[in-house]
């Protein structure tokens, strides 16, 4: 498995106390992505200039001259980088780091077992990303291990994956935290890179198989806090038979620092951050359409 992080003692990724396994790879390119290090399936190098002490160890070991250290700055030329990661091994200040670690499912499960005492009756393990079902067979294998050992399971998903995995996965997942980013298909394409049609088909199929679902809707000011999106959420909610509630999640701009560490432009946009009135407006609109909302 290609794992970007195993995060412990989480309270917002399913019921109870949870350990979240972030898997690498995602078919969407959301403009507001807050986990950009999970987007691409391959390992990448993260560079944090503020941590660099200018020792030049990375420059000495890099076979392609991708690192240039001067008295005032450290320039990392990613076009010259082949991903050998010798610079990461040489860096003593952790200014350079791998975006992920390749682990077997047994190794991941061994980490999850360490937290079993904290799960209690409601907690457990959540697979997140990225999109966990980009690594479908590995994700299913890990879910089976959890279920076989009495550990609760949840999956955070963008919903854009091959539907054939659902028949095997649904019985292994106690709760799907299912993103529905925009009911307007043109806006969905513009801001995520894909149509929402496959996402809707997959969630309806999962529901028909008995999946327990929480519909998670990110609220982005000036983008999707709009009546057509709310109407689409309500339409989908009323078609689902096993959806517990709709959760409204305010956009935040925290992903920008990770984007710059990947050598990309900061994608944080403060103008997109909704205020309390925006969320209350969304909640009120949906409740008038008889949607159960948690915000």
- The H-or-E segment that residue 179 falls in is strand 175-179
Mean pLDDT score of the chain, rounded to an integer? 95
Kindly list the distances between the CA atom of residue 138 and the CA atoms of 22, 29, 105, 154, 173, in Å, as whole numbers in the listed order: 13, 23, 7, 15, 14
Residue 6 and residue 101: Cα distance in Å, rounded? 10
pLDDT at 225: 97
pLDDT in tens, 154-166: 999 999 999 999 9
Burial 224-252 (b: 16+ CB within 10 A, else e): bbbeebbebbbebbeebeebeebbbbbbe
CATH of domain 45-98: 3.30.70.20
pLDDT at 196: 98
How big is the chain, counted in residues? 295
Domain ranges (residues) in the chain: 2-41+100-294, 45-98
* Helix residue ranges per DSSP H, 85-135: 86-90, 105-113, 116-119
- Which CATH superfamily hosts domain 2-41+100-294? Aldolase class I (3.20.20.70)
pLDDT at 256: 77
pLDDT at 295: 67
96-98 and 45-47: which strand pairing? antiparallel
Stretches in the chain below the pLDDT threshold 50:
none
Residue 242 and residue 174: Cα distance in Å, rounded? 12
């Amino acid at each position: 498995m290609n794992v970007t992080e195993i995060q412990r003692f989480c309270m917002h990724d399913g019921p109870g106390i949870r350990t979240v396994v972030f898997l690498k790879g995602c078919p969407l390119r959301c403009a507001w992505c807050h986990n950009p290090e999970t987007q691409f399936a391959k390992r990448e190098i993260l560079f944090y200039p503020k941590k660099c002490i200018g020792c030049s160890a990375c420059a000495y070991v890099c076979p392609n001259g991708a690192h240039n250290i001067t008295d005032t700055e450290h320039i990392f030329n990613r076009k010259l980088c082949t991903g050998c990661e010798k610079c990461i091994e040489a860096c003593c200040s952790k200014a350079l780091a791998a975006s992920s670690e390749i682990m077997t499912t047994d190794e991941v499960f061994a980490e999850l077992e360490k937290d079993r005492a904290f799960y209690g009756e409601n907690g457990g393990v959540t697979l997140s990303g990225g999109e966990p079902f980009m690594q479908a067979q590995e994700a299913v294998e890990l879910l089976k291990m959890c279920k076989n050992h009495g550990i609760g399971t949840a999956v955070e998903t963008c919903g854009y994956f091959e539907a054939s995995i659902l028949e095997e996965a649904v019985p292994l997942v106690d709760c799907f935290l299912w993103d529905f980013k925009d009911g307007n298909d043109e806006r969905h394409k513009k801001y995520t890179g894909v149509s929402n049609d496959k996402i809707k088909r997959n969630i309806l199929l999962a529901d028909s198989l008995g999946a327990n679902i929480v519909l998670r809707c990110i609220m982005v000011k000036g983008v999707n806090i709009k009546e057509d999106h709310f109407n689409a959420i309500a339409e989908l909610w009323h078609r689902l038979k096993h959806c517990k509630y709709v959760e409204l999640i305010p956009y935040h701009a925290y992903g920008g620092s990770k984007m710059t560490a990947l050598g990309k432009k900061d994608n944080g946009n403060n103008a997109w951050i909704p205020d309390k009135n925006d969320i209350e407006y969304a909640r009120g609109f949906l409740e008038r359409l008889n949607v159960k909302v948690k915000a």
